[in-house]
Every structure is written in C-alpha cells, then in structure tokens.
Amino acid sequence: MKTWKRLPAVLLLIIALLAAAVMPAAAEMLDMSEFNQIQIIVSKVPRGKAGNKISIKMTIHNDGTMDNNTLKEICLATPEEHESFMEEKFGDDEEEDDDNDGEGGLRRYHDSYPFEVDSSTFKPKPLGMKPGSDKTVTLSYKLRRDLQAGYYQAFFFIKDNNDSRYRVGVNIWVSAYDGSSTEEDDGNNTDYDFSIGDGQFTPYAAYGQVMNFNVNLTNTGTRKVYDVRVDMQLDADVTKFPFDINEGNYNRKMGDMEPGQMVEVPYSMGVRTDVKSGFFPIHYFVTYREEEGGNFSEPVDLVFYVHVKGEDDDELAADAGEQDRTKARIIVDSFSTEPQEIYAGAPFVLKVRMKNASSNVSASNIMFTFVSEEVESSPIFTSDTGSTSMVVNSLSPGEVTELSMLFKPAPTAEQKSYRMTIQEQYDSPEFKNAKEEVKISLQVKQEPRLNTSTIEVMPDNLEVGSETNVMFGINNTGKVLLYNVMVRFEADSIQTSDTYVGNIKPGETGNVDTMVTAVAPTMDDGRVKIIISYEDENGAVTEVEKELMLFVSEAVDPYEGMEAGMMEGMDGMEGGEMEGQGSFLSKYGKIVFPIAAVLAIGAGSFIVVKRKKKKEKELEEEELDDEIS
C-alpha cells in the first residue's frame, strides 16, 4: 500500500530530471561590477521581449577620480567589443571544458550580442557631466528576435573631454519571442517614447503671411511622463528655417502626459519674405521627467515638416508684358517695436524699414497702409489718429525708408502672434498705380494679474515657539497661465517658510493653507511679508508682495508674576532685611512661592470654614432663645 502512494512522487522526479536534461538552463546574472570603471546605479534590471525595444535606465556619477575630467558622451559597445569583454572574463570558447563550471569551464551566462544593429545603434548620447555631478540617462535599443530567455549583458563606453574611454556594463533580462509581437507594435513597447504630427496635414503658408498651426505630440511609451516641454529649434539660415524669429525661445510647457495621450502644441509663425518655396523640416526637442520632481531627460529629437510658398513662385513668366517686368518690388527689410515687448492694451511704436529690392527700377508716390488682423470683425491693432496710411515720395533701387506709427493692441487680445498687413500703392517708370502687400507678425502678450482673498490667521497673537495657521486664496485674474506659483513668509519674528501652490489657470484660484512658526518676539508693528512668485512661459520669475499682521510675545514663566508681586510688597522693609530676603527669594523662589500659594489657599479655606461654623452656632442660639421666650 505504501509503495503505491510513493509512485506519483517518483514519476514526478523522473519527469523533472528528463526535463532538466532536455531543456537548456536559463542564463544567470553576471557580476558586472568589475566592468564598471565609473560608478553607475541601475535601480532595477531592465526587461524586454525578444524582437522588441528595451529601455536601459542608469544613473551615472562622475566622482572626479578619472583625472578630474568632464564626461562628454556615452555609446553602446559594438559586437566585436562585446565579444572581447566576454573573452576577457571567461577566456576563449575553444578552451572551455564541458566538465567544469564557472570561469574557465562551462559558461552559464548568455554571451550573445543581444541587440539588432542599424545606422543609429552606436550613435553617442551627450552627457556634459562635470566632476561631482550625477545624471540619469535612458538608452533604447531593439533586441534580436532569436534570443532565448535569460540574462544578457550590455556594455557601454563613456568618453571624457580628452577622448579617454571608460567601460561600464549592466545586466538585462530578455523574455523569449512568443510570436505575439509584430514589426508594427515594436515601437509601442518602449517605456518612454514620443511621436509627432500624428493624423494631421502639413501646414502651408506663403511668404509674408502668418502660419497658425498646432503640432500633435503623442506619448507612445508605456509610462506616464511629467512636465513635458517642447522646444522648437531655430536657425538664422533662411534655407533651413522659414520663419521670422521674433521671440527669445519657442519652448512650450505641456504638463504631464499619460500613455497614449495626444496634446496640441500651438505655434503662430510669420513666414520670411525672402524664403524659397519648399518643404522645411522643423526640429523639436522634447524633454520630460520620468518621475514627478525628478531630473529632466535627454532631449528627444522629433521632426515635423511645413510647406511654404516663396517669392520665387511669383516670378514673371517669359511672355509677361513689359509693364509687369519693370515694376519695382518693395519689401520689409526689418522691423522693431518700442517697447520691445507688446502687451495688450498698452500703446507701442511700430518701426518698419521698407526697402526697394529692385536692382534697377525706382518707385515714386508710394502710399503705405497698415491693416491689422481682425478677431470677430474688430481689428487687434488700432491707431489713436484714425489714419494708418503714410506717403513716401520715392525709393531708388536698393534704398530703404523707415515708417513709424503708434498703435494700441486690444486689451482683450489673446497672447499670441497677430498679422499686420502693409498694403503698397506706387508708381514705377513703366508701371503706374501698382498694388502689392507684405505682412509681418507681431507677438502680443497679456500682463499676468493676480489678487488674494481675505488672509485668515488663527491665532494672530502667539508666543515664541508656537505655530499659527495661515489660509488664503490666490486668484488668477489675468488671461495667461501662472506657472510654479510659490508663497514665502518673511519676518524677524517668524521662521522663513515656503509653500508650493503649483500652476494656476486664468480665472482659477490656488489655495494656501500652511503653518507659520514664531521664533522671536515682535519688535516692530507686526507686519509679516507674503511674497508670491510665479513664472511665465519662458521661465522668468515675477514676485508680488502682500502682508499680514501677526504679533509674537515672549513665552511667560507662570511663577514670574507671583514673585514680582511679593517683591513689591516688601518695598517698606529695611534695606538690609530686604537685601537678605531678595537673595533668598532669587535662590529658592521657585520652591517657596508654590508652597506659599498652597498655604495661603489652605489658610483661606480654614477661615471660611471657621466663620461658617460660628455663624451656624449663632443661628442655633437664636432659635433656642425664641423657644424659651
């Protein structure tokens, strides 16, 4: 009976032994510390599926031991270098002994090169790390589809500013290809990745016009990303960048993005008047944080195309008439504004330099008329004089004239670029009453505005070492988003503290609810500064100062008043006696006064009880006298 009970266990043991003999063992993790000449930290082993992309995240520390050099870039080792490292660790494959384990024997580590190789595989990633600095980088590569399940090794070279190379390595875990993934979904298995321009047509505009367009940005990774920023890359070369550069930068803050989420990045760009027709690739650098409050990632370079029509498309045909061929061409040479930044509702002076770009045709009797872009049938820019036209007598070939006019943008104008059209009407020697127009774009900004609700302080009188609760709201009364709003409390009587409120949209309120600690008695009128700071879209910080009333008093010893009172009652005593008692009280006052207080209370109680008994006895005697009488 016992033999039959043991039979299933014996069969299972036999099956396990057979499986172990037939199936290859999964590779073990290799100790990579001896390959790391620079300190790197990998919080968790990167994982990926054969045939898909894998993201390798590591934190690099430049401790300055490598000749105190700046670390310039990191790149993946080639298959040949990978093979050399593994031979350095285990020796040549031909010398392996199947009867031994470990180094110099049967290798239990996957030594195959795990990545597919293409033109971008070994492209270096910039670091720019000075001694003593840390940097977190994420590198993505495609795994070979024929890999077995197990651990593999990824080796990298880090180069410094003297072109010296240092070797580092990390272990990665690869799951075997199961046939479920395809070429189409390979890119969707990366933790952090983006695509641009999904589901939209190429924007189009002609020279001198304003191109208003949105760029679709999609989080194609599998993880949520934080504080996404999109930075358009500018270029002064008109053959590479077709737009006028009117702002210091074109960085857009898009906030947090969930996996699969798409956002529209808005732009309003004036097309250069001297641009040539064609399709232009515009580069955008996308940066983000992998964790809330963490470091920014390395920029992801994405390309989006725009289509522009240039002046070359307007060249005259070979059989055009004589009058058309001798017409002058007047263009905008440059323009500026005073002040440099235009705010809604604030007047400014527009200065435009108009140039006769013809090489041998003059223009005369020139009338320039400024026509503003309209929103809901109302012009954005208006002139106080009512007239927006100016006349110039003549312009010789190559001559430049400056037009100056005062404008005022509408107070309700949204913060963006608006088109100003300059209509031209002039005479040329062989062409009378010619009409042309050119366009420029003007960036209008809205003044950030905020106010605060009633500031509640509970309590508004406190002692040193105590805390009080401060509550109020910050109302965004302007038309632009307030970024990274912070509140700081400052005064000699309190401990300086900061409170982070976050971004506040137009028309919304951010709430402040914090504790303030008293550290010193109030020596002035009790005013505490409330400094509210915020950033604009370019990161420039603005501070607004408010105040509250708060009085802080010294912490009081509960026995100090009692001692002072008793000392005052002894003023009539003789000097010597007073002096002796004063020294005695200063030494033993904290013991004597509590005892004296207890004795005084006891004596008072004794007197009250004694008087009560005496009164009760008198009442009894009076009642007895009444009965006798």
Fold designation for 333-445: Immunoglobulin-like (2.60.40)
Fold designation for 26-182: Immunoglobulin-like (2.60.40)
User: SS3 letters for 236-274?
Assistant: CCCCCCCECCCCCCCEEEEEEECCCCEEEEEEEEEECCC
Rg (CA), the chain: 41
The CA distance from 542 to 528, in Å, is 19
Peptide bond into 339 cis (omega under 30): yes
Amino acid 69: pLDDT: 81
Residues lower than pLDDT 70 in the chain: 1-27, 91-109, 179-189, 248, 312-325, 557-629
Over residues 22-51, the pLDDT tens digits come to 444 456 778 787 778 788 888 788 888 898
Q: What is the DSSP string of 549-560?
A: E-EEEPPPPTTH
Amino acid 27: pLDDT: 65
CATH class of 450-553: mainly beta
Describe the crossing of helices 575-628 and 560-568 by its angle, rounded to 10 degrees: 90
Q: Pseudo-torsion of CA 611, 612, 618, 620, nearest 10°? A: -160
Amino acid 511: pLDDT: 95
The CA distance from 542 to 146, in Å, is 57
The CA distance from 576 to 571, in Å, is 12
Is 32 strand, coil or helix?
coil
Amino acid 428: pLDDT: 85
Over residues 389-446, the pLDDT tens digits come to 999 999 999 999 999 999 999 998 988 899 999 999 998 877 888 889 999 999 999 8
Fold designation for 199-313: Immunoglobulin-like (2.60.40)
